[in-house]
């Protein structure tokens, strides 16, 4: 995997050693990141991902020293290290270098990594209901894209894979559908798209927001509401939205199998049209 990392005014190839055993982020998780995509010469919503990285840092109590626009400029410079049209993942990061329990915002550092990461095939994914749940905002920094949230996603994915599935549907602490372990969730029923109402247990994803806007503009009703797990099995279709795969159909949830539905196909078409034209 080819990768380039920007830190302190320099671009370094590979996986440079930029954290040490005494770095606060190493042992007490004061690190936030964001993820954006470049593919086929497109960088959809790159500005919004860069801006969210700054907001995540602020929400975690860090001291970001760059604006979203400045991060976007660095990201575009990094994209230039790769062949035109390459499928890339763009990951800006802020973390605290010193502190005890809480990271010292005055010690905040920044890095941005760009690396090869192919877009997933358009074949759909399988998923299962997970026994692990998303925390509430009282339990974890859910208003930030914080690294400390991801071990819980990791164990949900590992448990799902042990049972032969690729992803996991996670509930919130009240037992309502929150999202997939790695993406936001939509279901289609009778021509209407439904998606969990953001309640502080998961990030209101940038791709999620974009897909809602595109579907509504195309005349497809989208309802944000509380969704019970049983509703997933009665749905006509289920699909995921997120930075890694943008819009992906779910072909199986536990023992229920699904076709790639009309709303998912339309969402995918609309998203790619948006990405290619750079529209709003």
Confidence band for 229, pLDDT divided at 50, 70 and 90: very high
Q: What is the mean pLDDT of residues 110-130?
A: 95
Q: Hey, how many other C-beta atoms are within 10 angstroms of the C-beta on 152? A: 17
- What's the CA gap between 166 and 181, in Å, rounded? 10
Fold of 125-277: D-amino Acid Aminotransferase; Chain A, domain 2 (3.20.10)
Is the pLDDT reported for residue 122 higher than 90?
no
Quick one: tokens of 218?
């195309």
Residues in Cβ contact with 43 at an 8 Å cutoff, skipping those fewer than 6 apart:
36, 37, 75, 76, 79, 90
Q: What is the mean pLDDT of the chain?
A: 96
pLDDT at residue 279, rounded to an integer: 56
Residue with tokens 């949830």: 253
* Domain positions in the chain: 3-116, 125-277
Q: What is the mean pLDDT of residues 86-107?
A: 96
Q: Tell me yes or no: is domain 3-116 CATH 3.30.470.10.
A: yes
* pLDDT tens-place string over residues 66-96: 999 999 999 999 999 999 999 999 999 999 9
Which three-class secondary structure state does DSSP give residue 151? Answer: helix
pLDDT at residue 278, rounded to an integer: 74
Confidence band for 117, pLDDT divided at 50, 70 and 90: very high
Q: What pairing do the DSSP bridges indicate for beta strands 125-133 and 246-253?
A: parallel
**In the chain, pLDDT over 90 holds for what percent of residues?**
96
Q: For residues 181 and 153, is the Cβ–Cβ distance under 8 A?
A: yes
* pLDDT tens-place string over residues 153-197: 999 999 999 999 999 999 999 999 999 999 999 999 999 999 999
Please classify residue 222 by burial: count the beta carbons closer than 10 Å to its beta carbon, then call 0-12 exposed, 13-18 middle and 19+ buried: middle
Q: For residues 88 and 43, is the Cβ–Cβ distance under 8 A?
A: no
Please classify residue 232 by burial: count the beta carbons closer than 10 Å to its beta carbon, then call 0-12 exposed, 13-18 middle and 19+ buried: buried
CA angle 247, 250, 255 (to 5 degrees): 170
Q: What pairing do the DSSP bridges indicate for beta strands 177-180 and 167-171?
A: antiparallel
Task: Name the DSSP letter for residue 148.
Answer: G
């Amino acid at each position: 995997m080819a990768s380039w990392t920007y830190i302190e005014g320099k671009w370094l190839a590979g996986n440079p050693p930029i954290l040490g055993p005494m770095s606060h982020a190493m042992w007490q998780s004061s690190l936030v990141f964001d993820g954006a995509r470049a593919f086929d010469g497109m960088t959809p919503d790159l500005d919004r991902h860069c801006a969210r990285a700054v907001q995540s840092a602020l929400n975690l109590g860090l001291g970001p020293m760059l604006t979203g626009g400045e991060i976007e400029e660095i990201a575009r410079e990094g994209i230039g290290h790769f062949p035109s049209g390459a499928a890339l993942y763009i990951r800006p990061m802020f973390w605290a270098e010193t502190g005890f329990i809480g990271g010292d915002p005055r010690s905040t550092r920044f890095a941005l990594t760009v690396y090869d990461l192919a877009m997933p095939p358009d074949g759909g994914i399988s998923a299962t209901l997970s026994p692990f749940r998303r925390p509430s905002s009282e339990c974890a920094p859910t208003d930030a894209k914080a690294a400390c949230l991801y071990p819980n996603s990791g164990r949900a994915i590992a448990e799902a894979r042990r049972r032969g599935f690729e992803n996991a549907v996670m509930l919130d602490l009240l037992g309502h559908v929150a999202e997939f372990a790695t993406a936001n969730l939509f279901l289609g029923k009778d021509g209407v798209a439904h998606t969990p109402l953001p309640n502080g247990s998961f990030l209101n994803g940038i791709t999620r927001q974009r897909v809602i806007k595109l579907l509504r503009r195309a005349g497809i009703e989208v309802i944000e509401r509380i969704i019970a797990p049983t509703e997933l099995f009665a749905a006509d279709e289920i699909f995921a939205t997120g930075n890694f795969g943008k819009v992906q159909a779910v072909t199986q949830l536990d023992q229920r199998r699904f076709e790639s539905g009309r709303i998912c196909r339309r969402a995918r078409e609309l998203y790619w049209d948006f990405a290619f034209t750079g529209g709003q």
